[in-house]
Amino acid sequence: MNTHLERFAQIAEILTRHGLGFLAGALGLERWLPGPAPMPAEEPTTPVRLRVALEELGPTFIKLGQLLSTRSDILPVAYLNELSKLQDAAPPVSAAEIRSLIQQELGAIPERLFASFDDEPLASASIGQAHAATLMDGTEVVVKVRRPGIVARIDEDLEILQNLAARASRRWEAAADYNLTGIATEFADTLRAELDYLREGRNAERFAENFAAIPEIYVPGIFWATTTSRVLTMERIRGIKVDQIEALDHAEINRGEVAQRAARAVAKMIFEDGFFHADPHPGNLFIQPGGRIALIDFGMVGEIDEGLRDQLVGVLFALTSSDPERMGSALRAISVTRPTMDQSALRRDCARFIQLYKGLQLREVKIAPLVTQMLAILRNHHLQLPRDMALLLKMVLMAEGMGVRLDPEFSLGEILRPYAKALAQARFSPRNLAERLGKAGLEAAELGMILPEKLRTLLENMDGGVEVHLRAAELEPLVGRVERIGNRLVAGMIAAAFIRGIGELTAADRERLRTWQNPLLGAGLGAAGSLGAYLAWTARRRKYRGPR
């Protein structure tokens, strides 16, 4: 704990020295605040001061800044741009330490494991450093070695960050609204996963499997015989970095085709695989002869499950149908926070947003401003995206920026359109609708069945100065009444689900509907009509019987 106290004091001192004493106070570090630091004649902007402070605080905070640079739903653009400049570099570990660690992990000195091993690192970062080597069969590889002692240092900082997040959430309304404690926990899980090179190797193999049938995308192989959680041996990739435009032109690479291939790879990751590279910056993309794209660095990945993809389609459907009410509901559904909000203000913001894109085809839309404006709505209403959705949007923005740099005529929207259309059609297919209706019915039925028991529990547990004196005989009529309400609620929800599902299907794809509309509409409307009749009958029956 004494170490934590020293670190608290260090954090407060660094933040204050960079003119961020207000942030230290919001994080609950008042007792460690020094006097106000003198500011330079030309004071840097707050985003710049934050970046410099994070760099000085060390590897954990640099990684935190890099994560925050992906959170357009939380931070304004000026902060995102500045935090994107954070460099994850560090002085290299000595060759003797690296050799000792390799021997501990792999059971032999480098000369017995590799035909050659270069003591001079290719790169040195906060978590580990990379060395060039050659296998006994002549294959060129890169050996990544985790820094000695880095896990203990990061674990301490992660504990401190979670403590600071809890402090801030108790005293700062915005921190609670944005679920700062949840972000800190999520960040801790993500960073600890990055420390495990076995996981990175498995990620690489999963990408290799996903793109095995696409020769234009290449994923380097992993050599498991010389890989552990602290050492990763990966095939060495050579090529031209994707942002080296002159070198690409000199090699006579078709930049437009490269942009198209990269965009199709992004679309496949999102709409087909649900598994994507979350850090596709230029240093991780190499262009090889023939325009083949090679990916490296699989420590940061994201996953989009069927539920998140369905919610994404819901947002797109609301946009294309020009429905502000539906868009507000879709944004609330996709958010992991549930702050108190002005629903009318959210609807107005959605209406203004929709008006900007009304009548445009997806291929005519620039993705970056669309995403930026949507994220501004989320930020203004304290709605926070799931981590993987935020990473996905960051990847999409990076992909569009890279594509436009390669080819000024590039349109990411045009590439994404057929994938999004196929996903929307699948969402509104007869089978999918039937599954969703069935699930809604089961959930509604479960709600109706558990509601009486929940009421019993509530009455049994009421306290705080309110005494409830109810005999069992007096409680039974109330429970029976709740059961009848629950039954009507179930029927009403199922009927609404039928009607809404059929309406969405009709709006989504009229041509698709024609081949089977008579039996489906007949069955659906018949079921909805029967349930509606039941609701009317029970309401009328209760009216004439009067209260019990």
Question: Which residues form the catalytic set?
Answer: 279
| CB half-sphere exposure, 370, CA atoms < 13 A | 23
Q: Which two tokens stand for residue 154?
A: 């990061």
Is residue 292 within 8 Å of 217, Cβ to Cβ?
yes
Query: Side chain identity at 501, as an amino acid letter?
Result: G
CA 328 – CA 456 distance, rounded (Å)? 35
Q: At what angle do helices 150-171 and 59-68 cross, to 10 degrees?
A: 50
| CB half-sphere exposure, 174, CA atoms < 13 A | 8
CA 414 – CA 19 distance, rounded (Å)? 45
Chain-centroid distance, C-alpha 447: 30
133 forms beta bridges with 117, 141
Handedness of CA 213, 265, 336, 307 (dihedral sign): negative
CA 469 – CA 487 distance, rounded (Å)? 27
Query: Side chain identity at 319, as an amino acid letter?
Result: L
Strand boundaries in 448-520, DSSP class E: none
Q: Which two tokens stand for residue 375?
A: 């994220």
CA 384 – CA 331 distance, rounded (Å)? 9
Q: Which two tokens stand for residue 257?
A: 């085709």
In our burial notation (b when 16+ CB lie closer than 10 A, e otherwise), range 131-148 reads bbbebeeeeebbbbbbbe
CA 318 – CA 321 distance, rounded (Å)? 5
With tokens 């993705």, the residue in question is 367
Torsion angle, CA of 534/538/543/548, rounded to 10 degrees?
180
By residue count, the chain amounts to 548
Q: Which two tokens stand for residue 503?
A: 């309406």
Is residue 124 within 8 Å of 105, Cβ to Cβ?
no
CA 141 – CA 232 distance, rounded (Å)? 10
